[in-house]
Amino acid sequence: MEEAAALKEIAGPVKGIQPSFTPYHVFRVLQALSEEKALGRPTLTKLVGLGEASMKTLLRRLQAGGYVTSRKPEGTTLTAKGKGLARRLLEHFHVIEHLTATDICGECTAAAVLSDDDVTAKLKGFGAVKLRDEVVRHGALGAIFVVQMGGDLLLPTPEGYTPFTGFAVAAELRSMEVLRDGESALIALCNINDGGACASYSFNAIINLLGGRDC
Three-class DSSP labels, 113-176: EEECHHHHHHHHHHCHHHHHHHHHHCCCCEEEEEEEECCEEEEEECCEEEECCCCHHHHHHHHH
pLDDT digits (tens, 9 = 90+) for 42-63: 999 999 999 999 999 999 999 9
| CATH code (residue 114) | 3.30.1360.30
Kindly state whether residue 166 falls inside one of the protein's structural domains: yes
Residues 114 and 170 in one domain: yes
Q: What is the DSSP letter of 39?
A: B
Domain endpoint, select from 49, 64, 89 = 89
Kindly state whether residue 123 falls inside one of the protein's structural domains: yes
User: In this predicted structure, what is the pLDDT of residue 36?
Assistant: 85
Domain endpoint, select from 38, 54, 89 = 89
Residues 101 and 194 in one domain: yes
Kindly state whether residue 136 falls inside one of the protein's structural domains: yes
Size of the chain in residues = 215
User: In this predicted structure, what is the pLDDT of residue 214?
Assistant: 47
Kindly state whether residue 215 falls inside one of the protein's structural domains: no
Domain endpoint, select from 41, 66, 89 = 89
Residues 152 and 102 in one domain: yes
* Contact assessment for residue 19 and residue 53, using Cβ atoms and an 8 Å cutoff: no
Structural domain containing residue 165: 93-210
Sign of CA dihedral 7, 112, 116, 38: negative
Kindly state whether residue 113 falls inside one of the protein's structural domains: yes
Q: If you average pLDDT over every residue of the chain, what do you get?
A: 94
What residues in the chain have per-residue pLDDT under 50? Answer: 214-215
Kindly state whether residue 160 falls inside one of the protein's structural domains: yes
Whole-Å CA distances, 119 to 1, 91, 112, 133, 135: 9, 10, 14, 18, 16
Domains contained in the chain, number = 2
Residues 132 and 196 in one domain: yes
Residues 31 and 102 in one domain: no
Class of residue 181 by CB neighbours under 10 A (exposed 0-12, middle 13-18, buried 19+):
exposed
Kindly state whether residue 155 falls inside one of the protein's structural domains: yes
Residues 98 and 184 in one domain: yes
pLDDT digits (tens, 9 = 90+) for 149-180: 999 999 998 888 999 999 999 999 999 999 99
